[in-house]
């Protein structure tokens, strides 16, 4: 909902060229607490002109050379300072994340720790960006040098607002890039707090990081289309990823990396650790309200243990308390918005209509929770892989439990999807685990676990789950160009003519 400028609510400004500003427009966006539907704050709905100012600020900061030519130690120092400030403000920021996004507070606290670690990890990379010497045969030295890619557009989703921003800001800063970050419409508050941290670090030149709030189809699209932008790093839906790639192709062929959606299989064989498996089937699908790109939303269970497994899932699921994230007893919070809740409810209705058996949950919660956007976690049994709830990313707490006969069928079902982000297999047979791990076409694969994520290890998808990788050494590569430099060691003409 948009409203004209009001004075009775806290207006949180954007950050452009080292200034806090509400931009050129007069429209503000209400930022809602999904646990009770109340307006938490307002942020500017930036115009395309605001975005162009931010891009100009980033361009000027890049071209001045101050940041890209800073030493690795100088850049590392800034990243470590950001990490320290995040740790110092962790509880305040975690509360803000929960109030804005809906997830349980203890999950926001994890996210804050992970975001700080991400800045520390890439702070380490800032001093370790090396080139190579290429073994060319002539009397010459050939080198590959690494240089920052330039001005970057960083577009992030709402499910891990600060953490997804950290995954992009930290490596881009380490590489020496300048950037404009665009948070999701619904969840800008934690990154706008981060702007205050950045502003307080005097070694970070103005204009290196800019943060612009607004609509994806306006200011997000401007970032993807603008000729002054050298690269867009995007995390979000496959649908919008496609638009970004098109916009990049139709403008200046800027570099694009995409972290997109998924419909990931979590595969349980009859020889799995049953108790741990049941718990993880729920955790990997319902953590963060299921609003996770790598959610194990297709739970493939071998027929010989299927009934027992589903029954155990239902029993365990009864212990998951749903409610406001600020209450420490709640393990599942509100969905991010009413619009998203309605979309999830439509998928649940479709699951029932297509003949899947809803064996637990799947109801919008009323009573004290009626003003918030709460749904009880849903377990569908007897799902086949052609049903809509097994094919489309729901991005909510909806589990589709699919039976399979043997290893070959499990692999075939796992791969029968346009996505390829993640997957997992549960078995005590290491040979089977390795066969399945190699056969499933996905960018991240776990054995006897699902979801642990580390900034030291690569993250990204096969097929329509994206292109490029974040985190690990790939994270920093994402923001670097490679220049081949050839130094001729012969003197005099080469004698060609
Ligand atoms: P979304 O695609 O709707 O929006 C993501 C971002 O893109 C937002 O900031 C939005 O404002 C912006 N945007 C929207 N339209 C745009 C346009 N035309 N041009 C430029 N930017 C535009 O996604 P969402 O609903 O915010 O997030 C959920 C999606 O994100 C899910 O599909 C999920 O799987 C994906 N995701 C992927 C990963 C990963 O690592 N692969 C991680 C988290 C989330």
CA 279–ligand 1 middle distance (angstroms): 29
The residues near 313 (Cβ < 8 Å, ≥ 6 apart) are 278, 281, 282, 299, 360, 379, 399, 401
Domain 265-447 has CATH 3.40.309.10: yes
- Ligand 1 atom, smallest distance to 221 CA: 19
Residue 4, pLDDT > 60, answer: no
For residue range 80-103, list pLDDT tens digits in order. Answer: 999 999 999 999 999 999 999 999
Ligand 1 pocket check for 421: Cβ under 6 Å = yes
Ligand 1 pocket check for 159: Cβ under 6 Å = yes
Q: Which of 29, 152, 157, 462 to mutate to test the pocket of ligand 1 (most atoms within 8 A of CB)?
A: 157
Q: Where are the domains of the chain?
A: 2-260+465-483, 265-447
- 224 contacts 202 by C-beta, under 8 angstroms: no
- Nearest to residue 187, comparing CAs of 219, 230, 150, 156? 156
Ligand 1 pocket check for 188: Cβ under 6 Å = no
Residue 412, pLDDT > 50, answer: yes
- Ligand 1 atom, smallest distance to 183 CA: 9
Rounded Cα distance between 282 and 240, Å, is 29
**Helix spans in 6-151 (H):** 48-64, 72-88, 90-101, 105-126
CA 426–ligand 1 middle distance (angstroms): 30
Q: What is the pLDDT of residue 25?
A: 87
- Ligand 1 atom, smallest distance to 421 CA: 41
- Nearest to residue 264, comparing CAs of 422, 435, 50? 422
Which amino acid residue places its CA nearest to atom 13 of ligand 1? 216
- Nearest to residue 317, comparing CAs of 358, 351, 286, 346? 286
Q: What is the pLDDT of residue 7?
A: 42
Residue 232, pLDDT > 90, answer: yes
Q: What is the pLDDT of residue 6?
A: 42
Q: What is the pLDDT of residue 9?
A: 61
Residue 490 CB neighbours (<10 A): 10
Whether the pTM exceeds 0.85: the reply is yes
Which amino acid residue places its CA nearest to atom 28 of ligand 1? 236
Tokens 């699209």 -> residue: 221
- 236 contacts 160 by C-beta, under 8 angstroms: no
Distances (CA, A) of 408 to 263, 302, 411: 19, 11, 5
Ligand 1 pocket check for 261: Cβ under 6 Å = yes
Rounded Cα distance between 452 and 442, Å, is 16
The residues near 367 (Cβ < 8 Å, ≥ 6 apart) are none
Segment 167-195 shows an average pLDDT of 98
Segment 53-74 shows an average pLDDT of 98
Domain 2-260+465-483 has CATH 1.10.3720.10: no
Segment 423-438 shows an average pLDDT of 98
Ligand 1 pocket check for 248: Cβ under 6 Å = no
Q: What is the pLDDT of residue 260?
A: 98
For residue range 378-399, list pLDDT tens digits in order. Answer: 999 999 999 999 999 999 999 9
- Ligand 1 atom, smallest distance to 261 CA: 34
Which amino acid residue places its CA nearest to atom 9 of ligand 1? 184
CA 41–ligand 1 middle distance (angstroms): 22
CA 396–ligand 1 middle distance (angstroms): 15
CA 98–ligand 1 middle distance (angstroms): 19
Rounded Cα distance between 264 and 274, Å, is 20
Q: Which of 164, 240, 264, 419 to mutate to test the pocket of ligand 1 (most atoms within 8 A of CB)?
A: 240
Q: What's the mean per-residue pLDDT of the chain? A: 97
Q: Which of 4-13, 119-128, 315-324 has the lowest mean pLDDT?
A: 4-13
CA 157–ligand 1 middle distance (angstroms): 4
CA 236–ligand 1 middle distance (angstroms): 2
Instruction: Give the pLDDT band of residue 249 (cuts 50, 70, 90).
Output: very high
Q: What is the pLDDT of residue 62?
A: 98
Ligand 1 pocket check for 341: Cβ under 6 Å = no
Residue 3, pLDDT > 50, answer: no
For residue range 103-146, list pLDDT tens digits in order. Answer: 999 999 999 999 999 999 999 999 999 999 999 999 999 999 99
Distances (CA, A) of 216 to 33, 48, 200, 212, 243: 20, 11, 28, 11, 11
Helices then strands, each counted (H, E), the chain = 15, 23
Annotated catalytic residues are 259, 293
Strands 480-488 and 140-148: antiparallel
* Phi, psi (deg, nearest 5) at residue 6: -120, 155
CA 33–ligand 1 middle distance (angstroms): 20
Q: Which of 216, 217, 463 to mutate to test the pocket of ligand 1 (most atoms within 8 A of CB)?
A: 216
- Ligand 1 atom, smallest distance to 466 CA: 41
Ligand 1 pocket check for 262: Cβ under 6 Å = yes
- Ligand 1 atom, smallest distance to 470 CA: 40
């Amino acid at each position: 909902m948009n409203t004209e400028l009001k004075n009775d609510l806290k207006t949180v400004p954007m950050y452009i060229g080292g200034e806090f500003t509400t931009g050129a427009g007069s429209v503000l966006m209400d930022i809602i607490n999904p646990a009770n539907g109340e307006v938490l704050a307002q942020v500017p709905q930036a115009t395309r002109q605001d975005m162009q100012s931010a891009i100009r600020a980033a361009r000027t900061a890049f071209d001045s050379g101050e940041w890209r030519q800073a030493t690795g130690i100088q850049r590392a120092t800034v990243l470590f300072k950001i990490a320290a400030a995040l740790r110092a403000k962790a509880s305040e920021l975690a509360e803000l994340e929960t109030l804005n996004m809906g997830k349980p507070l203890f999950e926001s606290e994890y996210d804050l720790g992970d975001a700080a670690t991400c800045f520390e990890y890439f702070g380490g990379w800032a001093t370790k960006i090396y080139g190579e010497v290429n073994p060319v045969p002539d009397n010459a030295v050939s080198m590959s040098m690494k240089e920052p890619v330039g001005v970057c557009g960083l577009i992030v989703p709402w499910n891990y607002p600060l953490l997804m921003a950290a995954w992009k800001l930290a490596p881009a800063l380490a590489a020496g890039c300048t950037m404009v970050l665009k948070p999701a419409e619904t969840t800008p508050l934690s990154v706008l707090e981060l702007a205050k941290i950045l502003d307080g670090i005097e070694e970070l030149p103005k204009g290196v990081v800019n943060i612009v709030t607004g609509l994806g189809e306006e200011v997000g699209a401007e970032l993807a289309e603008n000729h002054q932008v050298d690269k867009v790093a995007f995390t979000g839906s496959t649908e919008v990823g496609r638009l970004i790639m098109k916009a990049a192709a139709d403008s200046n062929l800027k570099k694009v990396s995409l972290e997109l959606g998924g419909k990931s299989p979590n595969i349980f064989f009859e020889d799995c650790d049953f108790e741990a498996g049941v718990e993880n089937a729920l955790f990997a699908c319902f953590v963060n309200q299921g609003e996770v790109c790598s959610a194990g939303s297709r739970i493939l269970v071998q027929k010989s243990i299927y009934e027992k497994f589903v029954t155990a899932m239902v029993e365990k699921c009864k212990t998951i308390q749903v409610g406001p994230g600020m209450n420490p007893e709640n393990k599942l919070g509100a969905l991010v918005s009413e619009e998203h809740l309605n979309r999830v409810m439509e998928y649940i209705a479709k699951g029932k209509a297509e003949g899947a058996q809803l064996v637990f949950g799947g109801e919008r919660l009323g009573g004290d929770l009626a003003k918030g956007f709460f749904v009880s976690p849903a377990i569908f049994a007897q799902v086949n892989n052609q049903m809509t709830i097994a094919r489309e990313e729901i991005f909510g707490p909806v589990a589709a439990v699919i039976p399979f006969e043997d290893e070959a069928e499990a692999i075939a079902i796992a791969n029968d999807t346009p996505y390829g982000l993640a997957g997992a297999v549960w078995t005590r047979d290491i040979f089977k685990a390795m066969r399945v791990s190699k056969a499933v076409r996905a960018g991240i694969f776990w054995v006897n676990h699902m979801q642990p994520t580390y900034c030291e290890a690569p993250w990204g998808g096969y097929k329509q789950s994206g292109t490029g990788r974040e985190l690990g050494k790939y994270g920093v590569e994402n923001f670097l160009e490679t220049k081949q430099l050839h130094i001729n060691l012969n003197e005099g003409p080469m004698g060609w003519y």
